[in-house]
Amino acid sequence: MRQEHQRLAESIVTVLQEAHFTALFAGGWVRDFVMGKPCQDIDIATSAHPEQVMSLFPRSIAVGAQFGVVRVLLDKHEFEVATFRSDAQYVDGRRPSHVDLHSSPEEDAKRRDFTINGMFYDPISHELYDFIGGKEDIDKKIIRTIGRAEDRFKEDRLRMIRAIRFKNVLGFSIDVETWNAMCHECHHVASSVSPERVWQELHKMLEKKVLPSCLRDMASCGLLQTIFPVLKKMPSDVLNHRLAIVENYTGNSLAACLCLLFDGDEASYLPQFADDYHVSRRDKKIIELFIQYDGFHIRPSDTEMVKLYARPEFSDYLSAVALLREDPDGFERRHLSKQEELLFWIEQVRSKTLLVNGDDLKARGIQPGAAMGQLLERAFDLSVTLRIKDKEQLLRQLLL
């Protein structure tokens, strides 16, 4: 699949070059190619303008025409083809006031974020174009901005979080000037970067298994406290303890992992956290579990536990909250054992087919209404509490 994707990308470059345009692979693919790492995503940069690209590729659509970006579809693959550009002044910490599409690879490289991402490669002539020292920084294992660090971060504040992600994914270090600029500029992130973009970056860190180390770096430069203001008043030793807990998280839920930072007095921040970051429905339910059950500091009844165990997001909650215990493995084992013990009733909740239902009560002369609803709840509670698995026995107990 990867070879087919690259073959199709090369065919796009070939068509553009045969039409007398410059066309090159750009960005992350070139970085990974230089490092000898496989990369599926291939972006193409060209001197052709969007309308010229679209005339050469009928199955294409302008997705950012003002920025010179066209999406080209070949077979079942998609490629972003972007016109070389230079940017005017950025006015909102994310977008330039206008772009100049009459540019060159060298000018285009200067407006990119980091040197390791600013190289180009011609897959036809096999020539690398490096105008900003990207290969040298790869050899030195350094993350460095292209040009003055403060300027790059003022253009797009999210680049500070991206720098930390690249550092930890690649195992590099961050250039001193770049790091100092991050420490100086980080307080602007909350006001100029949308929560959705921050959440996407944090998800990428989790997917790459580098979230804990990224969070530590973000705390060191002040980014973490800017993104989550509730952490600003947290003593450093407490924050370090929370980060140490997060380091042991191996699950796949970003929301569950981050909730570990807000255990204790900061738990009151959780509803705002869910709203600010527009989390998914599943993530919101996980956050609600942290709020409702407070890490199991208050012991729910067996009936409540059945309903909790039946929830599809419970496993994510359990794997995180277990880390707040002295014996996480033992805590998890006890709950898994309890789940097995209560499986008969858990399956009833999941399938919405209770041992005693409304038809059973109507057959005994009880009419639908509030009273029936209370009896059904009572029946389920009795079944769980007394471990009754026989319908007739439960009805006798219920209607004594």
Using pLDDT thresholds of 50, 70 and 90, give the confidence band for residue 65: low
**Calpha distance 167→165 (Å, rounded):** 5
Question: For the chain, what is the total number of helices (H) and then of strands (E)?
Answer: 23, 11
Question: Cα-atom radius of gyration of the chain, to the nearest Å?
Answer: 28
Contacts of 97 (CB under 8 A, 6+ apart): 88, 89, 90, 91
Kindly state the percentage of the chain with pLDDT values over 70: 94
**Calpha distance 235→107 (Å, rounded):** 46
The per-residue pLDDT for range 323-368, each reduced to its tens digit, is 999 899 999 999 999 999 999 999 999 999 999 999 999 999 898 9
Kindly state the percentage of the chain with pLDDT values over 90: 78
**Calpha distance 69→280 (Å, rounded):** 29
More confident residue, 296 or 339: 339
Other CB atoms within 10 A of residue 137 CB: 20
Contact 57/72 with Cβ under 8 angstroms? yes
In this structure, the chain runs to a length of 400
**Calpha distance 352→354 (Å, rounded):** 6
Both tokens assigned to 315: 């496993």
Q: Shortest CA distance to 320 belongs to which of 268, 224, 215, 248?
A: 248
**Domains present along the chain, CATH in parentheses:** 1-140 (3.30.460.10), 141-227 (1.10.110.30), 358-398 (no CATH)
- The full DSSP string for 100-166 is E-S--HHHHHHTSSBGGG--EEETTTTEEE-SS-HHHHHHHTEE-BSS-HHHHHHH-THHHHHHHHH
More confident residue, 364 or 174: 174
Q: Tell me which amino acid residue 328 is.
A: P
Contact 348/355 with Cβ under 8 angstroms? yes
**Calpha distance 188→192 (Å, rounded):** 6
Q: Shortest CA distance to 346 belongs to which of 378, 321, 312?
A: 312
Residue 97: its pLDDT value, please?
A: 42
Phi, psi for 39 (deg, rounded to 5): -145, 130
Both tokens assigned to 212: 């804990």
- Output the pTM of the full model: 0.86
Distance of CA 109 to CAs 13, 84, 135, 158, Å? 18, 9, 13, 18
The per-residue pLDDT for range 79-127, each reduced to its tens digit, is 999 999 875 454 444 554 445 566 789 999 998 999 999 999 999 999 9
For 49-82, letters b (16+ CB in 10 Å) and e give bbeebbebbeebeeeeeebbbbbbebeebbbbbb
The per-residue pLDDT for range 187-205, each reduced to its tens digit, is 999 888 999 999 999 999 9
Average pLDDT rounded to a whole number, residues 30-45 = 92
**Calpha distance 159→296 (Å, rounded):** 38
Residue 190: its pLDDT value, please?
A: 84
Contacts of 334 (CB under 8 A, 6+ apart): none
**Calpha distance 95→137 (Å, rounded):** 27
Contact 188/94 with Cβ under 8 angstroms? no
Contact 239/202 with Cβ under 8 angstroms? no
**Calpha distance 273→287 (Å, rounded):** 9
Contacts of 279 (CB under 8 A, 6+ apart): 199, 255, 287
Per-residue 3-state assignment (H helix, E strand, C coil) for 258-297: HHHHHCHHHHHHHHHHHHHCCCCHHHHHHHHHHHHHHHHC
